[in-house]
Structure 1
Amino acid sequence: MPSNELQSPTSEMVLLTPSSDNPPSIAPAATKQPPREGSAESDSSRVVMKKQLGLLEGVAIILGIIFGSGIFVSPKGVLREVESVGASLIIWVLCGLLSMIGALCYAELGTAIPKSGGDYAYIYEAYGSLPAFLFLWDAMMIFVPTTNAIMGLTFASYVMEPFFDSPCQIPKIALQLVAAVTICSLTYLNSYYMKVTTKMQNIIMFTKIAALVLIIVVGLVWMLMGNVENFEKPFENTTTDPGKLSVAFYSGIFSYAGWNYLNFMTEELRDPYRNLPRAIYISLPLVTGIYVLANMAYLAVLSPSEMLASNAIAVTFGDKILGIFSFIMPVMVGISAFGGLSVHIMTSSRMCFVGARNGHMPAILSHISVKSYTPLPALVFMCFLSIVMLVVSDVYVLITYSSIVESFFIMLSVSAVLYFRYTRPCMERPIKVSLWIPAVFVVVCAFLVVVPIYVKPYEVGMGVLITLIGIPFYYVGVVWQNKPKWVQHTIDSLTYTCQKLFLSAREEKQD
């Protein structure tokens, strides 16, 4: 956004003269101070996002998002729609295969376009400014803050549950306060202590896998003891309604959601041409195997009616079969929600950062802390939106409205593989998948987007309406460059004030 030159009030900091392409920023006047220990890699003092993530951290990010609280809390959505044990397990397998196909496409996109931002970056590169802005609009206003709020509330409920007897409900305000403190604390960690955060993610990843392996082992032992009555007629009463099947797929895919989140942080990944695809290839088969086996374990121990009646299946599973060790499950669910929230805060802030860097959000959100080399303004902005969503009573409804729209944008991202094959045949592709892979993914996603239109027309319509509301904001905030001087001066003043507050600067490009 264009702006007038501002004067720095101090001799120690110099405000760089802004241009139409670059927002104003603060940078040290003389020599830059070396990065503080533990905040960034010491081989460079440029104000850029540091490459602090290796293969293990990449795997931890993907598993940290996918193994949120979903597999422990509510894998009953598939069973409720298909109405049979056998069909539900097939849906879980197919959702895993679909996620792996999509992940292969993202491996090609992530290595051909090595930019942070994930879906936003690919849509912007393939289809231009407006579609990318609308995805960013939905993500920043709905997808990300509502997911953060729900993860925070889930963690809060499991932390506070031991302090309340079963007849008493946890006060809503208490849940909101604990969730708010958790979101703010994790935002602080992600803002100033990236290395601590990534090490914490590694530990939590192994904790989540251990919890799921415990469920699987207990379920297998239960079946080996002859308790297989729930599998005697696996396909009895299976629904054949295409609408219900598509909704069942949505429930399954929602539990796999997050396999594309490492692409949001490509610029911070060491050797992304090798580590990005490797992290995907390791994570997705592991997730699919664990999910299918965990659901088999649930179905072996719990009847379909017990699963459908439970609000936290892993806890119900533990209460029925683990005896005095049943306390393990609530602890594991709490840890999983905590870890998933941390990863979501970290990765989603990068999408906000890249969007601002392209001029689709306020310029200050494209700035980087000169001390910790993290997108501090973007992290604080997303924290604020997440806190707002904590007090919105219909936060789950917002996610329902937007889930189909999100699937449409994922389909659009993967279709970019086909689009680039046609329009840029000579584009450098370190990883090149067979054309049938993105073609199959796009066709399946198109089915999942179109069919719910007649099953849940109101929800689809609301999702489309939320997206279309972003169009006026696009033309006012992005297209309209010649704003009145007083408007531009206000924007410049706010940007300058936030720069001083966050000690942030515009990203320094490599010479």
Structure 2
Amino acid sequence: MPEKNGKNGHKVSRESINDDDGQVALKKELGLLNGVAIIVGVIVGSGIFVSPRGVLQESGSVAVSLIIWVLCGLLSTVGALCYAELGTSIPKSGGDYAYIREAFGPMPAFLFLWVALLIINPCSNAIAAMTFANYILEAILTNCSEPSPNAVRLIAAAVILLLTFVNCYNVKWSTRIQDWFTMAKIVALLLIVGCGALQLYRGQGYEHLSYPKSFEGTTNSPGHIALAFYSGLFSYAGWNYLNFVTEELKDPFRNLPRAIYISLPMVTIIYLLANVAYFTVLTPAELLSSNAVAVTFGNRMLGSFSWIMPLSVALSTFGGLNGGIFASSRLFFVGARNGHLPVTLAMINLKYFTPIPSLVFLGILSLSYLTTTQIYVLINYTAFIESLAVAASVGALLWLRYTQPNLERPIKVNLLLPIVFFITCLFLVLLPFYVSPYETGIGVAITLTGVPIYFLTVQWKSKPRLYNKLINSFTTITQKLFFCSQED
């Protein structure tokens, strides 16, 4: 049996290399349906089921809240189209990291990677896992008191371990989970829409949707309208996740934009109809007093089948967590491949062709955040960083239009779209400095801690021999433990 040498001398059987040319690389296994499932599956998390009240609370009226839901969908679609240009002109996995690095250089890209590594991605995974645990327990223990925090943490840890294993073992398993759970959450939303349509068919539920009553209480404060947009955009978060896995997408020049054209309008329409359905059953006061709108809705409409709603939220967060693990692990993989993280995170298992070291590392970080109940505060500290990253990516699009006008752009959006989106993002980035300067300042401080780390680990080339020896030993151990090698 012929063999080849992996990096650092690791022997690899030709039969373990699945590509026709014998290369070690991530495989292109994601089709159009998988792309749609990743976008929809990550976007439709717990937000639309749990927290539509934020939009209503800040906007002040039913009509304006519905308008904001539509505008948030349109804004997300514009952003996704901008990312379609970026993803096809810079066809690299890593999303924002890859685009910021291409346009502005390594340090800004490293700072984004640092915050994503330290807090954003593992915290988001931990929160999704705990949300799953809370709602699956609510579906099972319908008449019991609030579940024990330790039970929630145990189930959350179990689901993180399960999905990390699935993503390590087989990309197709992961995408099938994403496909099926995306379908499940869409069915749950359509159930809500159907109940609302039934109410309207019966001649009920028009009271709070009729003009002019639906506009009563509308705020006249631009700041509150902006905060309403924050709540709405939170439920649309994840529209850019397909760009993290561009290299694994079949025919990305066609399938990336097609997945966007299908998924974003579909999510926007379903979100709008779901919110209309909420108002056909619940009064604005009831919606504002509910911590889980879909569960309150289900208790009112489904009777003995009310357990379907908490189960739907659990399934939704399960699929969202799977998509988050799949995509964010590729971010760390690409960062390591570019020398911004330890080389072990840029290695691929030679049997399953998955970035197992990156997935395991992300899983460990996610599990570590289950030890605290204060992770929501940490997310608040860095929430504006995510908006800043999106603004920087769209700024990269505009900068590359200026500095590299001849760059091949299979998709080229009208220049007005990225300009409008960039200005909107800047507004959303700057607003937190006025509304919550303390949390924003902490977020800036966390980001700036990456500057000395960058100079010590990336810029400093003549590191001590002992340091290099330890890193090489760790790399060898990782290769043997996970049977992995760097890409060819």
Q: TM-score, normalised by structure 2?
A: 0.96
Q: Which of 380, 389, 403 is the equivalent residue of 1:423?
A: 403
Kindly state the Cα deviation for residue 42 of structure 1 after the two structures are TM-superposed. 5.8
In structure 1, the partner of 2:59 is 82
In structure 1, the partner of 2:283 is 303
Q: Distance in 1 between matches of 2:270 and 2:326?
A: 25
Q: Distance in 1 between matches of 2:161 and 2:144?
A: 31
Please list every run of 5 or more consecutive structure 2 residues that lacks an aligned counterpart in the other structure. none
In structure 1, the partner of 2:50 is 73
Say whether residues 1:371 and 2:355 are aligned partners. no
Decide whether the 8 Å contact of 1:25 with 1:367 is kept in 2.
no
In structure 2, the partner of 1:282 is 262
In structure 1, the partner of 2:15 is 33
Kindly state the Cα deviation for residue 224 of structure 1 after the two structures are TM-superposed. 3.0
Residues 273 and 13 of structure 1, relative CA distance in 2, 3 Å threshold? closer
In structure 1, the partner of 2:206 is 228
Kindly state the Cα deviation for residue 354 of structure 1 after the two structures are TM-superposed. 0.2
Q: Give 3-state SS (helix, strand or coil) of 2:419's partner.
A: helix
Q: Which of 106, 118, 122 is the equivalent residue of 1:145?
A: 122
Aligned length: 483
Q: Distance in 1 between matches of 2:19 and 2:468?
A: 38
Kindly state the Cα deviation for residue 32 of structure 1 after the two structures are TM-superposed. 1.7
In structure 1, the partner of 2:451 is 471
Q: Give 3-state SS (helix, strand or coil) of 2:10's partner.
A: strand
Say whether residues 1:497 and 2:484 are aligned partners. no
Q: Which of 27, 38, 52 is the equivalent residue of 1:61?
A: 38
Q: Could you say which structure has the higher helix fraction?
A: 2
Residue 502 of structure 1 aligns to which amino acid in structure 2?
F
Residues 196 and 260 of structure 1, relative CA distance in 2, 3 Å threshold? same
Residue 253 of structure 1 aligns to which amino acid in structure 2?
L
Residues 90 and 165 of structure 1, relative CA distance in 2, 3 Å threshold? closer
Q: Which of 407, 419, 444 is the equivalent residue of 1:439?
A: 419
Decide whether the 8 Å contact of 1:96 with 1:284 is kept in 2.
yes
Kindly state the Cα deviation for residue 379 of structure 1 after the two structures are TM-superposed. 0.2
Kindly state the Cα deviation for residue 209 of structure 1 after the two structures are TM-superposed. 1.3
Decide whether the 8 Å contact of 1:25 with 1:505 is kept in 2.
no
Q: Identical aligned pairs, as a percentage? A: 54
- More displaced stretch, 225-234 vs 375-384: 225-234
Query: Deviations along 1:41-88, whole A, 9 cap, x unmatched?
Result: 664542100000000000000011001121112221111211211111
In structure 1, the partner of 2:183 is 206
Say whether residues 1:341 and 2:325 are aligned partners. no
In structure 2, the partner of 1:155 is 132
- More displaced stretch, 334-343 vs 432-441: 334-343
Query: Deviations along 1:398-435, whole A, 9 cap, x unmatched?
Result: 11111111101101101111111100010000001010
Decide whether the 8 Å contact of 1:26 with 1:506 is kept in 2.
no
Q: Give 3-state SS (helix, strand or coil) of 1:289's partner.
A: helix
Decide whether the 8 Å contact of 1:25 with 1:499 is kept in 2.
no
Residue 438 of structure 2 aligns to which amino acid in structure 1?
Y
Decide whether the 8 Å contact of 2:6 with 2:486 is kept in 1.
no
Decide whether the 8 Å contact of 1:84 with 1:234 is kept in 2.
yes
Residue 306 of structure 1 aligns to which amino acid in structure 2?
E
Q: Distance in 2 between matches of 1:15 and 1:82?
A: 58
Residues 163 and 97 of structure 1, relative CA distance in 2, 3 Å threshold? closer
Kindly state the Cα deviation for residue 387 of structure 1 after the two structures are TM-superposed. 0.2
Query: Deviations along 1:267-301, whole A, 9 cap, x unmatched?
Result: 00011110011001111111111111111111221
Q: Distance in 2 between matches of 1:209 and 1:159?
A: 18
Q: Distance in 2 between matches of 1:165 and 1:274?
A: 46
In structure 2, the partner of 1:238 is 218
Q: Distance in 2 between matches of 1:45 and 1:34?
A: 9
Kindly state the Cα deviation for residue 166 of structure 1 after the two structures are TM-superposed. 4.5
Residue 175 of structure 1 aligns to which amino acid in structure 2?
V
Residue 193 of structure 2 aligns to which amino acid in structure 1?
I
Residue 111 of structure 1 aligns to which amino acid in structure 2?
T
Q: How does 1:172-191 map to 2 (within 5 A)?
A: 172-191=149-168
In structure 2, the partner of 1:264 is 244
Q: Give 3-state SS (helix, strand or coil) of 1:229's partner.
A: coil
Q: How does 1:122-133 map to 2 (within 5 A)?
A: 122-133=99-110
Q: Give 3-state SS (helix, strand or coil) of 1:33's partner.
A: helix
Q: TM-score, normalised by structure 1?
A: 0.92
Q: Which of 483, 488, 498 is the equivalent residue of 2:463?
A: 483
In structure 1, the partner of 2:91 is 114
Q: Give 3-state SS (helix, strand or coil) of 1:265's partner.
A: helix
